[in-house]
């Protein structure tokens, strides 16, 4: 990438000024479309995730602090929480079952930015145009923060980038909605960045901490904005400062210029990916490849057939571990389990992550038999392309499927109809068509109108439960 490293001397203030000046008219049509689809997809993931144990625990914690009717837990009958706590609960619910969107900057922006922005917009009764603008700002800042850190280097140091960079995205969205000045926005980014956290230690035993990272990042961004509204100040060099700036703190390979390179002309959020499978995005190319092999070699799959898998270094560290039955997260992060489920069941959806399915002896055995090999060529692709390949022996010869960009990526996208179908598939009790019409024409509606649609049937069902 060609850019002048000397051109950026104050990236925090420069990106803060862009956020403060950003207007709906500045967003290209493609960017607006991506934001509207992201709203719809995140809402579907969040309502589905409400029923997970970890989301319910966060909700119980939030309600223990007393009701403050500023924002709604998606699907509830009425606003019941302050903005930060609603963002925390809805963010955790959106990231609750590995269904939420992702970007090749190795983060999940929707589960952070949309809950924070929608809660703040609900409180302010903001227009749809302001909401779309704020979410665009949040996605872009969150993604650029990761790119500037160098996502592969940051990930290999053990950081979960959604938790590290997410507060910046939520803060940018809230600062936009609150109409902050450049200085106030810089303070908000500073207060958000100092709260960034989240490590991959959850992979050791499949604990709930990963689910929390998105919700906590959303909460941190809202908290930063609300403190600034009270006059609280934050560091205006949060990215670049030599002693404690986040770029140096999180990575040995950061590049500050990527924060602002072609800012306003290039929207990295346009390359957002939507998940068709309920597991880590880095496994999706392998699932596509496994499903293609399954079709070519005919189902049912012969579990004794030799299978070989090519891995990049990062994917091997992140997802290539030996699979053993544990929590749903263990299986959702396991490349071996995802491929075994795809070959055996022909799908990798929530049904593949039940206790019974995850403990199936045949699946466990197949996952263990996979031959995983390092492919240096994949290191060259990743993370610009979440590429992968799977090969299997059949009829005396080897067949191999190479996937450069998985289903749901920009190169192989799920369109609005596909996202609506996904929403309907995981939330059959909701008025999905009405929600989709509103979200996909968000500029013509308000945040409150959209949230109100989630209450139909869902709140009655929750009360009965």
Cis peptide before 313 (omega within 30 of 0): no
Q: Which of 250-259, 292-301, 454-463 has the lowest mean pLDDT?
A: 454-463
Q: Stretch 71-94: mean pLDDT, rounded?
A: 96
- Position 2 scores a pLDDT of 52
For residue 187, pLDDT over 70 is answered with: yes
- Position 461 scores a pLDDT of 67
- Position 5 scores a pLDDT of 46
Question: How many whole angstroms separate alpha carbon 100 and alpha carbon 199?
Answer: 19
- Position 68 scores a pLDDT of 84
Cβ(228)–Cβ(184) under 8 Å? yes
- Position 299 scores a pLDDT of 66
**What strands, in cross-sheet order, belong to the sheet with 388-394?**
371-374, 307-311, 388-394, 397-403
- Position 457 scores a pLDDT of 61
Cis peptide before 383 (omega within 30 of 0): yes
Structure tokens that stand for 7 in this block: 């051109």
* Radius of gyration for the alpha carbons in the chain, expressed in angstroms and rounded: 21
- Position 300 scores a pLDDT of 79
Q: What percentage of the chain exceeds 90 in pLDDT?
A: 92
- Position 301 scores a pLDDT of 86
For residue 224, pLDDT over 90 is answered with: yes
The fold for domain 281-403 equals 60s Ribosomal Protein L30; Chain: A; (3.30.1330)
CA proximity to 189, closest of 160, 220, 216, 162: 220
- Position 465 scores a pLDDT of 60
Give me the residue label for tokens 């929390």: 212
Quote the pTM value: 0.95
- Position 3 scores a pLDDT of 47
165 in the Ramachandran plot: left (φ > 0), alpha (ψ -120 to 50) or beta? alpha
Q: Stretch 47-68: mean pLDDT, rounded?
A: 92
According to the CATH classification, is domain 11-271 in 3.30.70.1400? no
Average pLDDT, the chain: 95
Q: Stretch 99-103: mean pLDDT, rounded?
A: 98
Q: Where are the alpha helices (DSSP H) in 150-238?
A: 151-156, 161-178, 182-193, 209-229
Q: Stretch 74-81: mean pLDDT, rounded?
A: 93
For residue 147, pLDDT over 70 is answered with: yes
- Position 459 scores a pLDDT of 64
Q: Stretch 357-373: mean pLDDT, rounded?
A: 97
- Position 240 scores a pLDDT of 96
Question: How many whole angstroms separate alpha carbon 152 and alpha carbon 3?
Answer: 20
The domain ranges of the chain are 11-271, 281-403
pLDDT tens digits, residue range 272-299?
999 999 999 999 999 999 999 999 997 6
């Amino acid at each position: 990438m060609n850019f002048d490293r000397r051109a950026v001397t104050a990236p925090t203030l420069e990106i803060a000024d862009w956020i403060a000046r950003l207007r709906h008219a500045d967003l290209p049509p493609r960017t607006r479309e991506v934001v509207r689809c992201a709203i719809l997809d995140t809402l579907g993931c969040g309502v589905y995730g409400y029923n997970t144990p970890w989301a319910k625990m966060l909700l119980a914690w939030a309600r223990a602090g007393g009701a403050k009717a500023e924002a709604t837990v998606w699907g509830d009958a009425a606003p019941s929480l302050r903005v930060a706590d609603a963002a925390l609960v809805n963010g955790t619910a959106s990231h609750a079952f590995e269904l939420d969107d992702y970007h090749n900057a190795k983060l999940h922006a929707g589960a952070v930015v949309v809950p924070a922005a929608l809660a703040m917009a609900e409180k302010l009764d903001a227009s749809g145009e302001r909401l779309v603008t704020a979410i665009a700002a949040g996605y872009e800042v969150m993604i650029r923060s990761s790119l500037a850190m160098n996502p592969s280097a940051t990930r290999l140091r053990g950081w979960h980038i959604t938790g590290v960079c997410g507060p910046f995205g939520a803060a940018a969205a809230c600062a936009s909605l609150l109409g902050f000045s450049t200085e106030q926005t810089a303070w908000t980014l500073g207060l958000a960045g100092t709260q960034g956290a989240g490590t991959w230690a959850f992979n050791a035993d499949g604990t709930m901490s990963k689910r929390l990272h998105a919700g906590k990042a959303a909460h941190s961004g809202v908290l930063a904005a609300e403190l600034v509204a009270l006059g609280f100040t934050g560091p205006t060099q949060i990215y670049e400062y030599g002693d404690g700036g986040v770029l140096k703190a999180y990575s040995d390979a950061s590049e500050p210029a990527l924060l602002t390179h072609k800012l306003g002309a290039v929207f990295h959020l346009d390359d957002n990916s939507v998940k068709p499978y309920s597991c880590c995005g880095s496994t999706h190319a392998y699932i596509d490849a496994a499903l293609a092999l399954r079709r070519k070699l005919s189902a049912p799959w012969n579990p004794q057939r030799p299978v070989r898998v090519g891995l990049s270094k990062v994917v091997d560290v992140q997802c290539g571990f030996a699979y053993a039955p544990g929590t749903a997260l263990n299986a959702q992060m396991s490349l071996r389990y995802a491929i075994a489920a795809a070959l055996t069941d022909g799908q990798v959806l929530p049904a593949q992550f039940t206790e019974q399915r995850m403990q199936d002896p045949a699946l466990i055995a197949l996952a263990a038999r996979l031959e995983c090999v390092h492919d240096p060529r994949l290191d060259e692709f990743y993370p610009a392309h979440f590429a992968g390949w799977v090969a299997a022996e059949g009829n005396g010869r080897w067949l191999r499927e190479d996937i450069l960009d998985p289903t749901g990526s920009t190169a192989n996208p799920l369109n609005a109809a596909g996202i609506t179908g996904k929403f309907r598939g995981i939330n059959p009790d909701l008025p999905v068509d009405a929600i989709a019409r509103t979200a996909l024409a968000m500029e013509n509606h308000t945040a409150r109108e959209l949230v109100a649609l989630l209450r139909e049937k869902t709140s009655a069902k929750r009360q009965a439960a």
